[in-house]
Structure 1
Amino acid sequence: MSYLDTTHDVYKEAALTPDVGLCCTTNPIWELPGLKIPKIMQEMNYGCGSTVNARDLTNSPRVLYVGVGGGMELLQFSYFSRQKGGVIGVDVVDEMLEASKKNFKEAEAQNSWFKSEFVELVKGDALQLNVADNSIDVAAQNCLFNIFKADDLKKAISEMYRVLKPHGRLVMSDPTCEQPMNETLRNDERLRALCLSGSLPIAEYVKMLTDAGFGTIEIRARKPYRILDPKNYPTDELIYIESIEVAAIKDPMPEDGPCIFTGKAAIYYGEEDFFDDGKGHTLIKNQPLAVCDKTAGALKALGRDDIYFSESTFHYDGGGCC
């Protein structure tokens, strides 16, 4: 039995018997006018963050969500895309698809604006999506891709890239870990299925996205997630796992490499009203400008003593140098 079979079994169990503790997110439940989330969806919120962001969801986008869980994020996406089949939910677990379908009936009862036909539930595999090229505005997954081993992760990201329209965005939430994990942890199929031992360092995670061709990466949040301690897990040291929320945008790859936003800012405080580097970056005096890591490096290389650079906050919410 492969690790993907183990994952299938874990989420089959979670569909049949909701497991509130399966994943853990510190995100509050969305509170929007007229949006009510059924309790069963909250109990089946098997994610480690949120992939729903209003600025991604303008003009009734076509949304693809892989790994449906109890349907909570599908319902949230539908709030912004109120059209038949506007949101496609893909899952390989029949029982999870059935549970979500049932939950949508409850959502209909609680939300006068919502119709189950807004969501198209599809049996499918993240490694081979039955979705047309360049047809999706926003693709998303929450606490799924960290389960995949390297080769499968490359396939899953490549499939998301394929189905996105130009400038479309892949929005993800996954556990990450900066500490090395021993082989016992890495090879424990159940711990991988539980979104623990497959966690990658952020730099490796981001490189997977840029290697697939995404020209712009936004790291939007970085939060505490889990602890693996020696008393309860096969490790000699305490391991700290975080979750991150990331948007990978299908922009053309710049000649000088991807724009990766990790929450850095540049502040000019010189004698003039502004500083222009001649490459499209204008810093207004004493006004922070969000900059990608690449631009921060280029500005630092100028050797000026009148520009301050903040460290990465790993929280980026738009605007800035690109």
Structure 2
Amino acid sequence: MDPSEIYSQVNKHYSAASHITSVKYGETVAKSFGYTEEELANIPEGANLGLSCGNPLAITSLREGETVADLGSGAGFDVFLAAARIGPNGRAIGIDMSDDMLARANKIKADKNADNVTFLKGVIADIPLDSGVADCIISNCVINLVPEQDKQLVFKEMHRVLKPGGRIAISDILAKQPLPEKLRNNIAMYVGCIAGASQLAQYQEYLKVAGFTDVLITDAHADLNVYFETNPDGTKKGDAGASTSSCCAASRTACSGTDKGASCVIPPGVSPDTNINEFVGSYKIYAVKN
């Protein structure tokens, strides 16, 4: 697929996702990927859109006064959680290419008076930060959205922006096997975080070439079907009394809208019985810049 078309479609999809209003959907997705009740209780309303595929903060070991950058920060879910950990002397920076996501994040920031939070517009293959400024870089289900031609640039940019001894803590979707052509060439599957997933060996090579060491990549064994088996009210498809108003839960097809989750990834032309877990998984990635 053409890289410019990928960027355009990803931007369009996540701009639409910035208008999601279903709080319970986001909570259910976040819990399934390891966020705690305490974390969810302490984030600003509207920051969690249910777009996670893991919890990168669980492996960051953030400390008071550190600078942390979130690549593909969306409405600021992980940024605000990080800001609480690094305290008023720290700096939490969110980077996103969607004007609509940035507008939502900045409104939440203003309402919260989060002085240690900053949101910047930019693509993660060209991070708008000076070299050697970050102690930690996090990212949550975003690097898979970068066109393959630009993925190595993302890792080189992370290495550039980190201080010596800085680390990355990433949650991302990786492919367990070569993806069938019908999945890899489907733009709906791309914006749904599936078609652009790298295989483990590719990810390891990206990190090595960029200069990272102490690399650890582990399968989180999360169920990715949660995206399209969760109704807007947070109930699961098939639960007694569960709502069936979600097009995702009812038909497992790609959909968008303000009352639905944005991560429904089974597009037309792909069997509704497809089990995404057979092809891809949620992985935790940790590495250090020496």
Using structure 1 for the length normalisation, give the TM-score.
Answer: 0.67
Paired position in structure 2 for 1:243: 282
Q: Distance in 1 between matches of 2:212 and 2:135?
A: 14
Paired position in structure 2 for 1:103: 108
Paired position in structure 2 for 1:145: 143
Paired position in structure 2 for 1:176: 174
Out of 270, 274, 277, the position equivalent to 1:233 is 270
Out of 6, 17, 21, the position equivalent to 2:20 is 17
User: RMSD across aligned C-alpha pairs, in angstroms?
Assistant: 2.9
Call closer, same or farther: CA 1:180–1:76 in 2, change over 3 Å.
same
Structure 2: 5+ residue stretches without partners: 226-264
Deviation at 1:221, TM superposition (A): 4.9
1:193 corresponds to 2:191: yes
Contact kept, 8 Å, 1:218 with 1:247, in 2: the verdict is yes
Call closer, same or farther: CA 1:66–1:230 in 2, change over 3 Å.
closer
Paired position in structure 2 for 1:261: none
Deviation at 1:62, TM superposition (A): 0.5
Out of 47, 52, 73, the position equivalent to 1:41 is 47
Out of 150, 154, 157, the position equivalent to 2:155 is 157
Deviation at 1:87, TM superposition (A): 0.8
User: Which deviations, in whole Å up to 9, do the C-alpha atoms of 1:287-316 show, x marking residues without a partner?
Assistant: xxxxxxxxxxxxxxxxxxxxxxxxxxxxxx
Structure 1 counterpart SS, 2:63: coil
Contact kept, 8 Å, 1:62 with 1:87, in 2: the verdict is yes
Larger Rg computed on CA atoms: 1
User: Which deviations, in whole Å up to 9, do the C-alpha atoms of 1:40-79 show, x marking residues without a partner?
Assistant: 223x141100111375212421111111122111111001
Q: Which stretch shifts more, 165-174 or 48-57?
A: 48-57
Call closer, same or farther: CA 1:91–1:130 in 2, change over 3 Å.
same
**Structure with higher strand content:** 1
Structure 1: 5+ residue stretches without partners: 109-114, 252-322
* Structure having greater relative contact order (Cα 8 Å, sep ≥ 6): 2
Paired position in structure 1 for 2:213: 215
Q: Distance in 2 between matches of 1:34 and 1:190?
A: 29
Call closer, same or farther: CA 1:54–1:229 in 2, change over 3 Å.
closer
Out of 8, 13, 25, the position equivalent to 1:5 is 8
Structure 2 counterpart SS, 1:41: coil
Contact kept, 8 Å, 1:84 with 1:119, in 2: the verdict is no
Contact kept, 8 Å, 2:138 with 2:169, in 1: the verdict is yes
In the TM superposition, structure 1's runs of 4+ consecutive aligned residues that sit over 6 Å from their partners are: 228-232, 234-237
Could you tell me which amino acid in structure 2 is paired with residue 129 of structure 1?
A: I
**Structure with higher helix content:** 2
Could you tell me which amino acid in structure 1 is paired with residue 87 of structure 2?
A: R
Paired position in structure 2 for 1:121: 119
Paired position in structure 2 for 1:135: 133
Deviation at 1:229, TM superposition (A): 7.9
1:66 corresponds to 2:71: yes
Structure 2 counterpart SS, 1:152: helix
User: Which deviations, in whole Å up to 9, do the C-alpha atoms of 1:194-217 show, x marking residues without a partner?
Assistant: 111112222322221122110111
Contact kept, 8 Å, 1:136 with 1:168, in 2: the verdict is yes
Paired position in structure 1 for 2:56: 51
Contact kept, 8 Å, 1:164 with 1:250, in 2: the verdict is yes
How many residues were matched structurally?
Answer: 242
Contact kept, 8 Å, 2:170 with 2:285, in 1: the verdict is yes
Could you tell me which amino acid in structure 2 is paired with residue 11 of structure 1?
A: Y
Aligned-pair identity in percent equals 25
